[in-house]
Chains A and B, each alone.
Chain A
Amino acid sequence: MSSEVRFTDFKSDKQPTWCPGCGDFGTMNGMMKALANTGNDPDNTFVVAGIGCSGKIGTYMHSYALHGVHGRALPVGTGVKLANPDLEVMVAGGDGDGYSIGAGHFIHAVRRNVDMTYVVMDNRIYGLTKGQASPTSREDFETSTTPEGPKQPPVNPLALALSAGGSFIAQSFSTDAQRHTEIVQKAIEHDGFGFVNVFSPCVTFNDVDTYDYFRDSIVDLDDEDHDPTDRDAAKEKILDADKEYQGILYQNEESVPYSELHGLDSNMADIPDGAPEGAMDLVREFY
């Protein structure tokens, strides 16, 4: 890790094909800044991306990366981090990717508390497949597949994370660059699974959850004297359906990440040229 790393070192030479104005630009910039600010460089960073407009992030960033199949980014990130604890692992994807097809993995990744950062670009719609309802879409949000609205309540990802034992739960707004960067940075610094749900508006398919909407409704937790270590306070805020919060809702300062609990500290890529020493004992067990 070198101190000369600048956030632009995390930029690939590929121009994003996101729609002009897409919230994902801001989300990505904040991620790159946060990575650089925390002393990482592209050669020790691994970004796992989901599928969706959001998932294209792996292409536009420069680092080791994997762009996998829809909904499975968290398991990939888990494998990367456990195999090589020296890597800074960041997983990114959309609300459909993370809370629909990948919902099961989300809960379990939260529980598992592997030391990585999960950034969800929540635009409350499916962007890449051109505007269908997502699990965070509003109950009455009309889309191509839900002409009268989904008629079911949206999932509350923060509540899912809290109930699954989340150790770092935060929310940010992609266009509030400084605050968003700071929150992702804290997620990276957190010892354990750092989860950030980012409001990352889709300017093409979502005319309800827009920049204007978020700008008008967001309440910053720093202005509310919120104590993120107070789980009950976090619960109250997270379950408050009328407000859109920005900031760290909950952080468990006692969090012990998976690798530490399981005593994993070496790079599993380093293996001997032949069977490991003591392998014959494995055979003798069967006498």
Chain B
Amino acid sequence: MPDDLNWAIGGEAGDGIDSTGKIFAQALSRAGRHVFTSKDFASRIRGGYTAYKIRSSTDRVESVVDRLDILVALTERTIDENLDELHDDSVIIYDGERTEMEDIEIPGEMTGLSVPLQRLAEEAGGAIMQNIVALGAACEVTNFPIENLDSALEKKFGSKGESIVSNNKEAARKGQEFVAEEFDHEFDYDLDTTDNDYVLLNGDQAIGMGAIAAGCRFYAGYPITPATDVMEYLTGRIEQFGGEVVQAEDELSAINMALGAARAGARSMTATSGPGIDLMTETFGLVATSETPLVIADVMRSGPSTGMPTKQEQGDLNMTLYGGHGEIPRFVLAPTNVAECFQKTVEAFNLAEKYQTPVFLLADLSMAVTEQTFEPETFDMDAVEIDRGKIVDDDEVEAWTDERDRFQPHFSTADGVSPRALPGTKNAAHMSTGLEHNSLGRRTEDTDVRIEQVDKRNRKVETAKEQEDWSPREFGDSDSDNLVISWGSNEGAMREALEFLDEEDIDVRFLSVPYIFPRPDLSDDIEAADEVIVVECNESGQFADVLEHDALTRVKRVNKYNGVRFKADELAEDIKEQLQSEEVTA
């Protein structure tokens, strides 16, 4: 009896799909089960198909697979949309009493459970609870103790009053009882519970949480899918820690506000997605030349232009790596899972202040909207260390002044990092500018000073390359001649793909890279392997390009750019195919 469950609820946008899915995810998590969620959504608020999918197991789950076991279909289209993932043992729960659903055909050998969701919900106090009836039915089908659902309902509706909570519990019971009484009990699912305590959150929330943990006090942003959740998370929370969220009039304003706050000494950030990153680009250079610590998150979605706003892609790597006129020293970090969104955000703030540079956090839609379970200690607040870099106080200013007692904010040090005086520091008033400048921050076109300052800024990157750990993470068989490399959120699917490949006796060494720049030097690893495959969610293979450039050799590529994240089983197939292919396709 499988303990690994793939469940989904789908319907029209506006049907409460998201909140229902979330309640079930929470119920599973509260029962000590691991959860990994994903969403199919369209860029419309009403109308248009949308689904919330949950994969759950007592073992850790890091990815989605091409399989759907139980589907709550609020519309007929929901079944069509998921036909590829449904299988003979799938169970479809739907409301056959609704006129639109009367003549529904359940495909193949699948089991259709017609449950009068609406009627039972009305009996429990209101049609609005039809989705909760469906959750009760799902509990029965999976042998999942409904008390866990009760606890999720309490969490969700507790603030709305006792009667709302009890009505919802009642609605769930009605769904459960209906299935128990009307259908022969021969479902193939049996969900275990454990004593584990998990927290359940998505990547955007983890970025926001990381920001607060790292002492970020100022956030300016402009709403854009799929980055808005960062702003929504921080709103109402950052204030409790003395901070502020400003919804700017556009992204140009957002990044400049964040820059202003950072100049004033606050740990400061902005987050956006592709189109917003485009608008911010001019300011990247200003951040870098004024040597302002700033964290800029790009939660990528499918581009170019407005592209597919609600779909996955890792297409902005080049943009964050190269975006902006002139040459801009910067760091680009790419968290590989939800927990890493937290950790890399903390790291980003430290890097930004230690090196006084822009730091990009390259996240993506899949990770941003995916909720994943973790042991709470994964977000270890005690482990958060804050390194503010070379901030000088009133007494230290003199050491950094020139012969005329003028503070030198861009003094060319051996490590490239200059003293930083926050406004208010005595006798250190100075100007920062996007113009090329001397050590005082004053405009210059002097050829030697130009070279000195450019070199100085780039030296920070060299220093960071030496002082920080930019290593990849390694999985699979370390002796294998087959090397797979990926970056960002593909790690989970790839890790699971290793298991599929292992079942077919294909050994693979897998390196997951959370740093785009600086990045680990993988030349030796690439040279040592017979086959090298780079996996990423874009068409051209942007990371493959930079690795080829680093290692001066060609690599194979697995690219996905249909807007959907890699699924573990499908990725395993793609890898297998590439391993067998003769050609390097680049």
- The 3 lowest CB-CB distance pairs between A and B, nearest first, are A79-B260, A269-B265, A271-B215
B342 to chain A, nearest CB (A): 9
User: Which residues does chain A contribute within 8 Å of B30, judged by CB atoms?
Assistant: 287
| Residue contact A271 to B260, C-beta cutoff 8 Å | no
Other A-B contacts than A87-B423, A105-B252, A269-B264, 10 sampled, CB-CB below 8 A, are A66-B259, A72-B256, A78-B246, A80-B260, A81-B264, A83-B260, A87-B424, A282-B381, A286-B201, A286-B205
Query: Does any Cβ of A come within 8 Å of B422's Cβ?
Result: yes
Q: Which of B125-133, B382-390, B449-457 touches A?
A: B382-390
Is the pair A66, B244 in contact by a Cβ cutoff of 8 Å? Answer: no
Q: Are A87 and B264 in contact (CB under 8 A)?
A: yes
Q: Which of B177-185, B429-437, B561-569 is near enough to bind chain A?
A: B429-437
A72: B residues at CB distance < 8 A: 252-253, 256, 283
Instruction: Find out whether the CB atom of A108 lies under 8 angstroms from the CB atom of B253.
Output: yes
Residue among A81, A82, A275, A284 with the highest chain B CB neighbour number at 10 A: A275
Nearest residue in B to A58 (C-beta to C-beta)?
B431
A178 in the interface (beta carbon within 8 A): no
Residues of A within 8 A of B267 (CB): 268, 271
A219 within 8 A of B: no
What CA separation (Å) do A64 and B200 show in the bound complex? 44
B385, A76: Cβ atoms closer than 8 Å: no
Which B residues lie within 8 Å of A78 (CB)? 246, 257, 260
Q: Which of A46, A71, A75, A262 contacts B423 (CB 8 A)?
A: A46
B263/A76 in contact, CB under 8 A:
yes
Contacts of A108 in B (CB 8 A): 248-249, 253
> In the complex, what residue of chain B is closest to A277 when comparing beta carbons?
B241
Whether the Cβ atoms of A69 and B265 lie closer than 8 Å is no
Known: A84-B423, A282-B237. Is A79-B376 also a contact (CB below 8 A)? no
Q: A46-B423, A268-B242, A286-B200 are in contact. Are A276 and B213 (CB under 8 A)?
A: yes
Q: Is residue A241 within 8 Å, beta carbon to beta carbon, of the partner chain? A: no
Q: Are A66 and B209 in contact (CB under 8 A)?
A: no
Q: Which residues of A contact B435 (CB under 8 A)?
A: 67
Interface string of A42-69 (1 = CB under 8 A from B): 1111101000000000110011111111
Tell yes or no: A217 within 8 A of B by CB. no
Q: Say yes or no: B242 contacts A266, CB within 8 Å.
A: yes
A104 CA to B213 CA in the complex, in Å? 33
Cβ of A13 under 8 Å from chain B: yes
Q: How far does the Cβ of B420 sit from chain A's closest Cβ, in whole Å?
A: 11
In the assembly, what is the distance between CA of A81 and CA of B260, in Å?
8
Segment 74-117 of A: residues with Cβ below 8 Å from B: 74-84, 86-87, 104-105, 107-108
Contacts of A68 in B (CB 8 A): 256, 259, 283, 286, 433-434
Does chain A have a CB within 8 A of B258?
Answer: yes
Please indicate the chain A residues that have their CB under 8 angstroms from the CB of B197 in the complex. Answer: 287
Give a binary string over A1-30; 1 marks a CB under 8 Å from any B CB, 0 the rest.
Answer: 000000000001110000000000000000
Taking Cβ atoms with an 8 Å cutoff, the residues of A that contact B are 12-14, 42-46, 48, 58-59, 62-69, 71-72, 74-84, 86-87, 104-105, 107-108, 262-264, 266-269, 271-276, 278-280, 282-284, 286-287
Residues of chain A within 8 A (CB-CB) of B297 are none
- Given the interface contacts A43-B425, A72-B283, does A66 sit within 8 Å of B199 by beta carbon? no
Chain A min CB distance to B84 (Å):
32
A287 to B201, CA, bound (A): 9
15 contacts between A and B (CB under 8 A): A43-B426, A43-B429, A44-B424, A46-B263, A64-B431, A66-B260, A68-B286, A69-B286, A72-B253, A72-B256, A75-B253, A77-B260, A83-B265, A269-B266, A275-B214
CA distance A274 to B262 in the complex (A): 18
- The docked-state distance in angstroms from the alpha carbon of A104 to that of B243 is 25
Kindly identify which residue among A12, A74, A83, A283 contacts B261, using a CB–CB cutoff of 8 Å. Answer: A83
B218 x A268 contact (CB < 8 A): yes
Query: Contact string, B367-411, partner A, CB cutoff 8 A, digits 1/0?
Result: 000000000100101101110100000000000000010100000
* A279: contacting residue among B199, B283, B384, CB under 8 A: B384
| Interchain CA distance A132-B565 in the complex, whole Å | 50
Q: Are B385 and A287 in contact (CB under 8 A)?
A: no
In the complex, residue of chain B having the shortest beta-carbon distance to the beta carbon of A274: B384
**C-beta contact mask, B127-144 vs A, less than 8 Å → 1, else 0?**
000000000000000000
Q: Is the CB of A82 within 8 A of B253?
A: no
Question: Cβ of A67 and Cβ of B205 under 8 Å apart?
Answer: no
Distance between Cα atoms of A220 and B268 in the complex (Å): 44
Interface size class of B (residues with CB under 8 A): 35 or more
Contact A79 B442 (CB under 8 A): no
**Alpha-carbon separation in the docked complex, A279 to B406 (Å):** 40
Check if A79 sits within 8 Å of B259, measured CB to CB: yes
Known: A64-B430, A271-B386. A82 touches B261 (CB 8 A): yes
Given contacts A43-B424, A83-B266, is CB(A283)–CB(B381) below 8 Å?
Answer: yes
A273 contacts B386, CB within 8 Å?
Answer: yes
Closest CB in chain A relative to B338 CB, distance in Å: 11
A-facing mask of B257-282, CB < 8 A → 1, else 0?
11111111111100000000000001
When the two chains form their complex, are residues B386 and A76 in contact, meaning their CB atoms are under 8 A apart?
no
Which single residue of chain A is at the shortest CB-CB distance from B409? A64
Partner of A274 from the list B239, B263, B385 (CB cut-off 8 Å) is: B385
Quick check: is B299 within 8 A (CB to CB) of the other chain?
Answer: no
Report A-chain residues with C-beta under 8 Å of the C-beta of B429.
42-43, 45, 62-65
Does residue B312 face the partner (Cβ distance < 8 Å to A)? Answer: no
Q: Mark B171-209, 1 if CB is under 8 A from A, else 0.
A: 000000000000000000000000001111100010001
Point out the residues of chain B lying under 8 angstroms from A279, CB to CB. Answer: 212-213, 381, 384
B443 within 8 A of A: yes
Q: How far is the CA of A42 from the CA of B406 in the complex (A)?
A: 13
Bound complex: CA A12 to CA B241 (Å): 38
Tell me the minimal C-beta distance from A179 to chain B in angstroms.
28
Q: B284 → chain A, closest Cβ, in Å?
A: 10
Q: Bound complex: CA of A281 vs CA of B213, how far in Å?
A: 11
Residue of A nearest to B385 (CB): A274
Q: Are A282 and B212 in contact (CB under 8 A)?
A: yes
Chain A min CB distance to B389 (Å): 13
- Which residue, B198, B253, B426, has most C-beta atoms of chain A within 10 A? B253
Q: Which of A48, A108, A269 has the most CB of B within 10 A?
A: A269
Beta-carbon contact of A66 and B424 below 8 Å: no
Residues on A with beta carbons closer than 8 Å to the beta carbon of B286:
68-69
Closest to A273 in B: B386
List, in ascending order, chain A residues with CB within 8 A of B237's CB.
Answer: 282
Shortest distance from the beta carbon of B266 to any chain A beta carbon, whole Å: 4
Assess the B249–A66 pair: CB atoms within 8 A: no
* Chain B residues whose C-beta falls within 8 Å of the C-beta of A44 in the assembled complex: 423-424
Contact A79 B250 (CB under 8 A): no
- In the assembly, what is the distance between CA of A273 and CA of B382, in Å? 11
- Give the Cβ gap from A261 to chain B, nearest Cβ, in Å: 11
Q: Which residue of A lies closest to B209 (CB)?
A: A282
Contacts A282-B212, A287-B199; A84 near B432 (Cβ below 8 A): no
Whole-angstrom distance from the CB of B432 to the nearest CB of chain A? 5
Nearest CB to that of A42 among chain B residues?
B429
Q: Give the distance to chain A from B312, nearest Cβ to Cβ, in Å.
A: 23
The smallest C-beta distance from B197 to any residue of chain A, in angstroms, reads 7
Q: How far is the CA of A108 from the CA of B220 in the complex (A)?
A: 14
B257 contact set on A, CB distance < 8 A: 75-76, 78-79, 82
Residues of A within 8 A of B425 (CB): 43
CA separation between A194 and B218, bound complex, in Å? Answer: 23
- A272 close to B263 (CB less than 8 A): no
**What are the residues of chain B within 8 A of A284 when measuring CB–CB?**
199, 376
Taking the closest CB of chain A, its distance from the CB of B88, in whole angstroms, is 36
Q: A46-B264, A84-B423 are in contact. Are A67 and B432 (CB under 8 A)?
A: yes
Q: Which of A14, A105, A269, A272 contacts B253 (CB 8 A)?
A: A105
